[in-house]
Every structure is written in structure tokens, then in C-alpha cells.
Structure 1
Amino acid sequence: MDITKRFNRVVAIYFQLQAKPIVKAQDLAAQFDVSKRTIYRDIRSLEQAGIPIYGEAGSGYALVDGYKLSPTRFTQEEIMTLAAAEKLMNKFVDPHLAKHFGSAINKIKAYLRSDEKSDISILEENMMMSVMENRFNKNVPSALSQLFESVAQQKIVNMHYQSSSANEVTQREIEPVGLFHQGSFWYFMAYCHLREDYRQFRIDRVQQLDLTNRGFTRKHKKLSYYLNKDEAPPTTQIRLSIARDFARYIQWERSYYGFVSETVKGDEVEMTFESKNAEEEFARWYLMFADQATILEPLSLRTTVRDLLTRIKVE
């Protein structure tokens, strides 16, 4: 079993070397849950097998340019993943990027056997995924592609942006650091020359985007640094008692409203939340299932909900 496990790991490391310009031992060790010394031995095994690897411990490893083996066969699970991946890309990325991803997938499909291509076709015909509207500005169909290119090539972007707090569109020069998907939208972090600071932007509010040939003016840290840099905003702890038979219907949405934990108590489920916006966002969400739930705390939330109810106009 150990021999098989090591063989699979060594093969996986080889594919990592083919897929990336540089691979670090510490990253491989974390991925495969082994020590760096084990990774060093695996690298030596590949070298002894005739794989031309350059680099050294501590700096990273890479394959000699131009060295590639013939494409390997895909497993059945990997083949099925190709079909699912294309559907997911069409759902979550802009049309321009989805088109290029489809082209890349077709090149991969060209290496498949006839029966494997047939399996993918059957799955594709019987897999549907709804696409959310208004996730991207239709006037900027290649926004994700341009931002990805900017991050990779470290080129400044000219952007026209409509923020939620302003009535007019502002023109900005930005240096995008990275992109992330949260909730139903794509966001990106960038250094804004107009504000002379790092700012977070939502991609559907971009009105125009132009990639320049000018390089970044500064060295930026990784995206995770800026996302974790700011202190977490204050939250309000909320406890609800929800009818057990109904509780399952909100499990898909609750994470967006600060869900922390739940405890089953007879016919009720007590849920705890840490809400960033209890007075408006959480209170309005609660109204969707208020007949099936009771606010245990804070009592001020009950008052907020009552006030909202009095403002509802039913003709």
C-alpha cells in the first residue's frame, strides 16, 4: 500500500512540474501531508528516472524547458470533471473568459478516446446550470479576462467605476492585486491611484476597463494579505429558535447572514449568528420565515422587526 501511495505521489509531483513554472518543496509537502525530506526523496526518484529537473531544496524545482511527455490517459472521474468544469465556468465567469475556457476544454477533449468523448457528451446533454443575471456589466464582457491579465503581467488598468455610494461614475487608474468570488459576485482588490490606497471593487459595477502597457508603480503583497489586513467589523450575536421541520429550508442561505452554530432541542433548532448588519439585512431576511421562528436574542431585533412590519403596505 505504501509503495502504491508513494508511486501515485511521485507521478502527481511530475504533473505539478509540467503544469507550473516553479514548484516548491514546502508546498508539495503541505499538499500531500508529508515532510519536505520525503519530497526531496521523491524529486531524486524522478531525476533517477531520467526526468530533467533543475533547482534545489529551498528555492524550488522546475522541468527543463521543452521537456514534455506524451499526454497521459484520464481517469473516468477526471473525464466527468471536464464536463462539470465547463458548465461551472459558464455560470461563474464572464462570456469572454467562458469562451476561451471552452476552447481549452475542446483541445483536451481531442486527446480522449471515442468512448470517453461519448461519456462527456451524454453528461453535458443532461447537466443544466442556471446563470445568474447582472453578475457582469454587459458593456464590459471581458472584465475578468482583462483583470486576470493585469494581475499576471502587472499592468496598470484604466477603469470607470460606479460605486454604491456615489451617483456619478469615477475614472480611476488601478493596479489590481487579485480577484475573489464571494456570495453571488466577483470582487477584486486593487491599489487605487485616485485614493492613494488599496480598495475593494465589485466587478458588476465596472463601467469601462482598459488595460494599459504601463507597469505597476509598486510591489504588492498577495491578495490574502489585503483580505485579512482589516480588522473584522463588529457583529451582533443573534439566536433564533426555528421549527425543526422548517430549519432545513434555510441551510443554504444562512451562511450569508453570519451563521455560526446550531443545536437541536426537541422540535426546535436553536441557531446562533454573528450578523454584520442586524438592523437591516438580517431583520429583512428573518421576515421571510418569521412564522416559523422566534427571536431569542437580542430583544432589540424584535423591535426592529415589528417596526418593519408596521411599514409594510398591503393594498
Structure 2
Amino acid sequence: MDITKRFHRIIAIYFQLQGRSIVKAQDLAQRFDVSVRTIYRDIRALEQAGIPIYGEAGTGYSLTEGYKLPPTSFTKDEILSIAASEKLMQKFVDPDLFRHFSTAIDKVRSYLRYSDKNNIMHLEDNLVMQRSSAMFNEAVPDALSVLFESISLQKIAELTYQAIHRNEPNERRIEAVGIFHEGHFWYFIAYCHLREDYRQFRIDRIQKIKRTDDPFTRKHKPLHYYLDKKAPAPTTKVRVRVNKDFARYLQWDRIYYGFVSEEITTDHVEMTFQSKNVENEFARWYLMFADQATILEPEELKDHVRSILTAIQL
């Protein structure tokens, strides 16, 4: 079993080398959950098999320029994952990036057997993923593509951005550091020349965007550095008692409102939240199921709900 696992790991390491310009031993060790020493042994095994690997201390490993193995065969699960990944990309990325992805997938399909192509087509016809919200501005269908290109080429991007607290959009020159998906939206961290500091932006608020040929003015740390550095937003503890038969309908939404834990009793489920916005966000969400729940704490949440109800003109 260990020999088989090692064989598959070594093959996977080769594909990592083939797909990237530089691969670090530490990254490989984390990916395959083994020690760095084990990765060193696996790299030596690839070298002994005749794979021309170039390694430099402190940098990483790479394949000699131009070296490629002929196209490999795919397992059944890998083939079916192609169809699933295309549907996921269609749901989660903007139209321009999906078009590029589809072109790349078509090239992969060209290596498949006729029967495998039929299997993918059958799965695609019976796999639908609905987009739950507008994650992108339809007037800017290439926002992700431009940002990806800006990051990879380290070129400044110019954009028109509508901040939520401003009535009018303003112009920005930014150096995009990285992109991440959270909740229902795509975000990116960038150095903003207007603010002369790092800022977080939401992609659907971009009104216009283009990449320039101007290089980055500084060297940026990896994305996780800026995400880890973000100060946690202050929260308010909320406890709500929900009728047990109804509580299951909240399982999908509650995570977006700071859900922490639940305690199940005979007739009720007591849910605990750490809410970032009790006054508007949580209070308005609570009104969707208020006839099935009771606010246990805090008192201010009850006051906010009463204010909203008072303002309603029926």
C-alpha cells in the first residue's frame, strides 16, 4: 500500500512540475501531507527515472525548458470532474474568464476517447448549477480576466469603482495582489495609488477596468499575508430560540449571519451568533422567520426589530 501511495505521489509531483514554472519542496510537502525530506527522496526518484529537473536552494524545482511527456490518459473520475469543473466555472466566474476556460477544456477533450466524450456530454446534460446572486457587473464581463492578467504580469490596472459609501464612482490605479471568494461575492486585495495603502475591493462594484503596461511600483507580499492581517470586525452576541420543526430551513443562510453554535432541546433549537451588523443585517434577516422564533439576547436587537416594524406602512 505504501509503495502504491508513493508511486501516485511521485506521478502527482511530476504533474505539479509540468504545470508550474517553480515548485517549492515545502509546498509539495504540505499538499501531500508528508515531510520535506520525503519530497527530496521523491524528486531524486524522478531524476533517476530520467526526468530533467533543475533545483536551486531557496528557490525550488522546475523542469528543464521544453521537456514534456506525451499526453496522458485520464481515469473515469478525472474525466467526469472535467464536466463538473466546467459547470462550476460557469457559475462562479465572469463570462470572459469562462470563455477562456472552455477553450482550454476543449483542448483537453480532444485527447479523450469517443466513449469518454459521450460520458461527459451525458453528465453535462444532467448537471445544472444556478447562480444564486449577481456576482459580477454585466457591463464589465472581463473583470476577473483583467485582474488575473494584472497579477500575473505585475502590471497596474485602472478602474472605475463604486464604493458602497459613495454616491458616485471614482477612478483608481491599483496593483492587484490577489483574489478571493467569500460568501456570495468575489473580492480582491490591491495597493491603491489613490489611498496610498492596501484596500479590499468587491469585483461586482467595478464599473470599468483595463490593464496598463505600467509595472508595479513595489513588491507585494502573498495574498494570505493581507487576509491574515485584516483586523476582525467587532461582533455582537445574539441568541435566538427557533421552533425545532422550522430550524432546519435556516441551515443554509445562518452561516452568513455569524452562526456559531446550536443547542437542541425537545421543542426548540437555541442558536448562537456573532453578528457584525445587528441593527440592519441581522434584524432584517430575523423578520423573515420572526413568527417561528424568539430573541433571547441582546435587547438592542429587539429594539431594532420593533423600529423596523413601526416604520412599515401597510
| TM-score range relative to shorter protein | over 0.9
Q: Report what 1:168 is aligned to.
A: 168
CA distance in 2, matches of 1:221, 1:55: 23
Q: Provide, for residues 78-136 of structure 1, a one-character-per-residue CA deviation record: whole Å limited to 9, x for no partner.
A: 11111111111111111111111000000000111111000000011111122355422
Shift of 1:30: 1.2
Q: Report what 1:153 is aligned to.
A: 153
Shift of 1:232: 0.7
Counterpart check, 1:226 vs 2:226:
yes
Moved more, 31-40 or 118-127: 31-40
CA distance in 1, matches of 2:34, 2:40: 11
Q: Report what 1:53 is aligned to.
A: 53
> What is the percent sequence identity of the aligned residues?
63
Q: Report what 1:62 is aligned to.
A: 62
* Kept after mapping to 1: 8 A contact 2:133/2:184: no
CA distance in 2, matches of 1:237, 1:216: 42
Classify the secondary structure of the residue corresponding to 2:233: coil
The one-letter code sitting in structure 2 at the alignment partner of 1:149 is: E
CA distance in 2, matches of 1:234, 1:73: 52
Q: Report what 2:22 is aligned to.
A: 22
Shift of 1:176: 1.0
The one-letter code sitting in structure 1 at the alignment partner of 2:283 is: A
Q: Report what 2:263 is aligned to.
A: 263
CA distance in 1, matches of 2:241, 2:119: 47
Unaligned stretches of 5+ residues in structure 2? none
Classify the secondary structure of the residue corresponding to 2:147: helix
The one-letter code sitting in structure 1 at the alignment partner of 2:48 is: Q
Shift of 1:137: 2.0
Counterpart check, 1:110 vs 2:103:
no
* Kept after mapping to 1: 8 A contact 2:162/2:170: yes
Change (3 A) 1:148 1:58: same
Q: Provide, for residues 40-94 of structure 1, a one-character-per-residue CA deviation record: whole Å limited to 9, x for no partner.
A: 1111111111111110454311111111111111111111111111111111111
CA distance in 2, matches of 1:118, 1:130: 23
Shift of 1:299: 2.1
Change (3 A) 1:237 1:133: closer
CA distance in 2, matches of 1:124, 1:190: 36
Q: Provide, for residues 250-303 of structure 1, a one-character-per-residue CA deviation record: whole Å limited to 9, x for no partner.
A: 111111100111121222111111000011100100111111111111122122
CA distance in 1, matches of 2:78, 2:121: 14
CA distance in 1, matches of 2:163, 2:234: 23
CA distance in 2, matches of 1:282, 1:245: 21
The one-letter code sitting in structure 1 at the alignment partner of 2:209 is: L
Any residues of structure 2 matched to 1:184-203 within 5 Å, and which? 184-203=184-203
CA distance in 1, matches of 2:30, 2:133: 38
CA distance in 2, matches of 1:136, 1:274: 28
The one-letter code sitting in structure 2 at the alignment partner of 1:198 is: Y
Change (3 A) 1:140 1:22: same
Counterpart check, 1:136 vs 2:136:
yes
CA distance in 2, matches of 1:9, 1:54: 19
Change (3 A) 1:132 1:254: closer
* Kept after mapping to 2: 8 A contact 1:192/1:199: yes
The one-letter code sitting in structure 1 at the alignment partner of 2:68 is: K
Q: Report what 1:8 is aligned to.
A: 8
Classify the secondary structure of the residue corresponding to 1:288: coil
CA distance in 2, matches of 1:212, 1:305: 48
Counterpart check, 1:97 vs 2:126:
no
Change (3 A) 1:198 1:260: same
* Kept after mapping to 2: 8 A contact 1:25/1:57: no
Q: Report what 2:212 is aligned to.
A: 212
CA distance in 1, matches of 2:3, 2:153: 42
Moved more, 129-138 or 147-156: 129-138
Shift of 1:5: 1.0
**TM-score, scaled to structure 2:** 0.96
Q: Report what 1:291 is aligned to.
A: 291
* Kept after mapping to 2: 8 A contact 1:162/1:207: yes
